[in-house]
Amino acid sequence: MQGDVSYLFDAIPSSEIDEALRMDYEDAKSTAVPVPVRDVKRLYFRSEKAFVRYISSVTVKLPAFKVVVPSSAGVGSIYYVVEVIDPYDGEVIAFFRGTYGYYGEGCHQSAFVEKALRRLGIPLEVRDGDYLLSLLRIV
């Protein structure tokens, strides 16, 4: 299946997720890049650990979404999109971009996010790239 990174779950030690969950909330949130568009605040996280820490600290509107965007045979991007209620900012759409099928850390980041979401009990629904703009409420 396109976007599958579950084969990497065993390579991610639980201690790595524990470390991310212990990260200071404000430090995690400060790594996000605000994306100003209309009525809802959007935060783009460049760190998978900060993304996981942030969503573990807010109220998540279930489910979270995994949006798979292929670029060529067997490789592509994965956007993790989570709508939350932040105690300071109200409604926020938090998202992180990982990859699949490439060598390097992108696939590991994707597997980290998915393993952490599973551990946090946050269900993940898979969608294709056509859903990305709607989930981000850009269109």
| pLDDT averaged per 10 residues, the chain (length 139) | 86 94 93 84 96 97 96 87 95 94 80 96 95 88
- Across the chain, how many H-helices and E-strands are there? 5, 6
Nearest to 125 by CA among 70, 78, 84: 78
pLDDT of residue 74: 78
Radius of gyration of the chain (CA): 14
Global pTM reads 0.86
